[in-house]
């Protein structure tokens, strides 16, 4: 299946082989789930190279690929590549460090290295049935964990404790680990889009942004809820509704053929018109799968259009320094006609008011 | 304190500024604990650059540094660097991707980029009192969690369940997250040095390698225990004792002025002489701190000597495909005379036999 995409990339870039270094692409292309190694695809031939620590695991896990052991990564890789007798090598240039690149190039002066970033970056944008099922599993683990945690979210409890409860539940329900540092940002801290849980206690009347995710067999979920601890005041209600409607606008804009920019603009323009444009500093969404953040990017500068089978987040937000913030995030899959929301937790304000 | 080391690196490399990209060095040098941004040190002046998502966090956290916001990372960084009017820029070449490097160089054709990897790699090798205290805290969290988990390690329980129990306890005791994917490798799987916990149930008589770590305020612990689920047979006893004594040899070899190679050799030669040399495929240890693996490396090809204040692991192992394996890992701090073991769990065989 993916050999076609690879062959196309090779053909266009006029390279005889490609060196993959990102663990996500390596897992995608040959099944290895460990944390060190490289994959070389030369024509139709795939070789996964790693050291002795991963030999048994590699032999168990990899499919459609040979295994080759090295002692020193760059030396072993250079020897292997040198023996291929190729002239042009594609390199996953946003996954190799400059240090490794220059050492490798130094050892292989006769091979032209061709940086491939964008070309390879889109390799995983279409999710197959098995991938989709894993993402759905991750989402179910995460939403179940969140629901179980809800009763412990109340005034007096520290943000950190909420995150601990949630993360333990994620692990218990089968997430190999939390997908990322759980965000629990309350009151003024909700103005931090990436406000990792702190020791701050939650207070009555505050908004609490909770951004969390699970990881199932390498595939991630990512969802953000904004809770209100008590009856929302006028400003909370107003901002929440703007974000919710902005998200709705973006969701409605999604269908095959619509540009990512237009999807971003659908949410952004609504927020701008409401007068809060300068408080929405990030993109509207990002692809998700083996990486928490991957192609496509849904942002004002993004290129490309949505196509059936793509999976990405839709997560507008408003962050007002000193006051706080609101973000609502769902994951969607682009369908033939529009999009299907994969995440299931309600983003209605009334459902997210916790009065205790 | 660290400005001296930085000035020395700049002087030797004849650069007027250094671009730091690794999150560990950024945290070390200016206190930012988020997950995106760069730090530029130009002479005595430090500037941390990031996007709007991290603005508030950066302003709260950073010390001895200015904050500058960019919209697009490479563009914003290029503009900032271009305005410095410098000719030679040191770059953390093992932290920048080749893709970012070439984009940046393209935008700044007049600046010579000087790759600094080894030079910067040793920046954090000496641990100050505060750092040491955080490592000790991480170790206490981890060993307490392990001890609490012990009663659940018995025949019939799946590796994954052991890891879940341990990881939840790590989080509960204050580890921001497990330091890495917990290894629980039993029976033949113990031959996988990085055998992340699987669905395999533990069986009576098996050896179980458990490699786990906590993270406290960015600082990590890393410790490996090998348990025997029942009375050890002759081979288990023999291999365990070889690894234990090999570790002891390495620990005894550590003192200021002794080369890392000699420390590695102390353990390795003992294992080789016992006839198991080919089953010990990895280095004897690695530095630990803000990263789980950092300088120095304690291996056959390592350069440099131990010095007071360095902190690293000592973890020989024997891995026999089909049979299983044993690894014992402690963390030490080099003292004036020798070394102090920071990890406290007993590595005596008798203490690690679990008969139920």
Interface ipTM: 0.90
Q: What is the DSSP letter of B200?
A: P
pLDDT digits (tens, 9 = 90+) for A297-325: 999 999 999 999 999 999 999 999 999 99
d(CA B97, CA A93): 7
- A:270-299 residues touching chain B, CB 8 A cutoff: 281-282
B281 lies in the same domain as B255:
yes
d(CA A127, CA A133): 9
Q: Tell me whether residues A100 and B94 touch, CB distance under 8 A.
A: yes
- A:219-258 residues touching chain B, CB 8 A cutoff: none
To the nearest whole angstrom, how far is the Cα of A72 from the nearest Cα of chain B? 10
B159 lies in the same domain as B218:
yes
Average pLDDT over residues B334-348: 98
How does residue B1 score in pLDDT terms, banded at 50, 70 and 90? low
A203 lies in the same domain as A76:
no
pLDDT digits (tens, 9 = 90+) for B273-324: 999 999 999 999 999 999 999 999 999 999 999 999 999 999 999 999 999 9
- Residue A176's pLDDT is 81
pLDDT digits (tens, 9 = 90+) for B51-75: 988 998 899 999 999 999 999 999 9
Site from A69, A97, A194 to mutate, B interface, most B CB atoms within 10 angstroms: A97
pLDDT digits (tens, 9 = 90+) for B95-118: 999 999 999 999 999 999 999 998
B187 lies in the same domain as B318:
yes
Q: Which residue has the higher pLDDT, B181 or A127?
A: A127
Q: Tell me whether residues A282 and B97 touch, CB distance under 8 A.
A: no
d(CA A36, CA A40): 14
Residue in chain A closest to B322 (alpha carbons) equals A56
- Residue A1's pLDDT is 52
Cα distances (Å, whole numbers) of residue A336 to A101, A157, A258, A259, A264? 41, 45, 12, 15, 20
Residues of chain A falling short of pLDDT 50? none
Query: What are the chain B neighbours of A99 within 8 Å (beta carbons)?
Result: 93-94, 115, 117
Query: Under 8 Å CB-to-CB from B153, ≥6 apart: which residues?
Result: B162, B202, B208, B210, B227, B229, B354
- Residue B194's pLDDT is 87
To the nearest whole angstrom, how far is the Cα of B341 from the nearest Cα of chain A? 25
Q: Tell me whether residues A97 and B100 touch, CB distance under 8 A.
A: no
Phi and psi torsions of A129, nearest 5°: -60, -45
Q: Which among A56, A97, A172 has the least Cβ separation from residue B191?
A: A56
- Residue B45's pLDDT is 95
**If you average pLDDT over every residue of chain B, what do you get?**
96
CATH of the domain at B64: 3.40.350.10
- Is-contact B223 B264, C-beta < 8 A? no
CATH of the domain at A312: 3.90.230.10
A112 lies in the same domain as A135:
no
- Residue B185's pLDDT is 97
Q: Whose CA is closest to B153, among B200, B202, B198, B194?
A: B202
- Of the residues A91, A121, A151, the one at which a domain ends: A121
Q: Which among B53, B171, B196 has the least Cβ separation from residue A281?
A: B53
pLDDT digits (tens, 9 = 90+) for B231-249: 999 999 999 999 999 999 9
Identify the domain containing residue B74 by its residue range: 3-121
SS3 A41: strand
- Of the residues B121, B139, B170, the one at which a domain ends: B121
Cα distances (Å, whole numbers) of residue B53 to A194, B71, B108? 6, 10, 26
A314 lies in the same domain as A245:
yes
B171 lies in the same domain as B91:
no
β-pairing verdict for A88-92 and A112-116 = parallel
Residue in chain A closest to B173 (alpha carbons) equals A164
B105 lies in the same domain as B151:
no
Q: Tell me whether residues B53 and A282 touch, CB distance under 8 A.
A: yes
A84 lies in the same domain as A206:
no
Query: What are the chain A neighbours of B53 within 8 Å (beta carbons)?
Result: 192-194, 281-282
A114 lies in the same domain as A134:
no
Number of separate domains in chain B: 2
Q: What is the DSSP letter of B330?
A: E
Assigned token pair, B165? 């129990």
Q: Tell me whether residues A53 and B194 touch, CB distance under 8 A.
A: yes
- Of the residues A105, A121, A137, the one at which a domain ends: A121
d(CA A199, CA A157): 9
Query: What are the chain A neighbours of B54 within 8 Å (beta carbons)?
Result: 192-194
A114 lies in the same domain as A144:
no
A173 lies in the same domain as A133:
yes
Q: Which among A99, A168, A321 has the least Cβ separation from residue B171?
A: A168
């Amino acid at each position: 299946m993916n050999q076609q995409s690879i062959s196309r990339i090779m053909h266009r870039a006029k390279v005889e082989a490609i060196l993959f270094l990102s663990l996500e692409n390596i897992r995608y292309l040959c099944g290895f789930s460990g944390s060190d190694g490289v994959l070389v695809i030369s024509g139709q031939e795939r070789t996964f190279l790693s050291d002795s620590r991963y030999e048994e695991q590699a032999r168990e896990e990899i499919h459609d690929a040979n295994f080759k052991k090295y002692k020193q990564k760059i030396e072993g890789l250079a020897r292997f590549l040198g023996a291929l007798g190729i002239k042009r090598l594609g390199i996953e240039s946003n996954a190799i460090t400059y240090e490794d690149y220059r050492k490798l190039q130094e050892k292989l002066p006769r091979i032209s290295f061709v940086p491939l970033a964008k070309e390879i970056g889109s390799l995983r944008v279409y999710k197959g049935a098995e991938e989709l099922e894993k993402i759905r599993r991750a989402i179910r683990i995460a939403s179940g964990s969140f629901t179980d945690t809800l009763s412990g979210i109340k005034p007096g409890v520290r943000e950190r404790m909420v995150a601990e409860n949630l993360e333990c539940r994620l692990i218990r329900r089968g997430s190999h680990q939390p997908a990322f540092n759980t965000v629990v940002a309350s009151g003024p801290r909700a103005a931090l889009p990436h406000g990792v849980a702190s020791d701050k206690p939650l207070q009555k009347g505050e908004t609490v942004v909770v951004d969390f995710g699970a990881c199932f067999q390498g595939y991630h979920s990512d969802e953000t809820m904004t809770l209100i601890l008590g009856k929302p005041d006028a400003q909370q209600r107003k901002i929440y509704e703007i974000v919710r409607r902005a998200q709705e606008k973006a969701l409605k804009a999604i269908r095959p053929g619509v540009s990512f920019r237009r999807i971003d603009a659908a949410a952004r323009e609504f927020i701008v018109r409401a007068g809060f444009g300068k408080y929405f500093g990030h993109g509207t969404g990002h692809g998700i799968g083996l990486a928490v953040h991957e192609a496509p990017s849904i942002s004002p500068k993004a290129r490309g259009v949505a196509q059936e089978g793509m999976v990405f987040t839709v997560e507008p937000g408003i962050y007002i320094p000193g006051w706080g913030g609101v973000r609502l995030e769902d994951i969607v899959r682009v369908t033939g006609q529009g999009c299907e929301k994969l995440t299931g937790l309600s983003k209605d304000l009334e459902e997210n008011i916790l009065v205790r």
